Chains A and B, each alone.
Chain A
Amino acid sequence: GAGVSQSPRYKVAKRGQDVALRCDPISGHVSLFWYQQALGQGPEFLTYFQNEAQLDKSGLPSDRFFAERPEGSVSTLKIQRTQQEDSAVYLCASSQGSGVSGNTIYFGEGSWLTVV
């Protein structure tokens, strides 16, 4: 497809379980972002990649959160030992240019995580 693709779309995890969320950005897009959106809130920045380099991970809420983009294309966001407060929609976005400013970003439909 032409857009940003995320999987799984919906995930229910038991507390303490590890989860992995996948993002396929638009082909050729250099920049990739992960955002977390809790119910009734706006998206909150988690981390940013330029190609395979993770240039900013200041938004990751704890060391249980880890993201990678080893070949500069597909990215995975991993959450270890999930907690109830991790329940949210995880949005991946990509943009054509490098850098975090001045480029339109395109979001995927998100991965809806519920921790029970």
Chain B
Amino acid sequence: RKEVEQDPGPFNVPEGATVAFNCTYSNSASQSFFWYRQDCRKEPKLLMSVYSSGNEDGRFTAQLNRASQYISLLIRDSKLSDSATYLCVVNPGNTPLVFGKGTRLSVIA
């Protein structure tokens, strides 16, 4: 089983839609969690950290369920500019960050 698993998509959604991505991780000792965004032919950039209590940044909400070992990202009121690949990232502890394969999102006008 891969350390971090994501549905690769693509998710094709109309502008204004709400879309949710899930990610599961295998190492129960993992300590911190992130969502990164990667545009086509660009480098990954930190979108948001994920906290146990859940956190929100504008249209984006991230949640962590430690018991079930999954992380989610919710995007409300999708914009064309949200089209990208969203990478689920886990810090297993004293080892470097582990990235999922990413979920591709296309927001369509």
Contacts and interface: CB of A to CB of B under 8 A. Distances in A.
A48 B91 CA distance: 14
Interface string B88-100: 0001011111111
Give the size range of A's interface with the partner: 20 to 34
B16 interface: no
Chain A contact surface mostly? loop
Contact of B43 (A33, A42, A100, A107): A107
B93 A101 contact: yes
Contact of B96 (A33, A42, A107): A33
A105 interface: yes
Contacts, number: 50
Given A43-B44, A91-B43, A110-B43, A100 B94 contact: yes
A26 B66 CA distance: 33
Given A42-B100, A107-B45, A100 B32 contact: no
Contact of A42 (B31, B42, B95, B102): B102
B30 to A, nearest CB: 10
B32 A101 contact: yes
Interface in B32-55: 32, 42-46
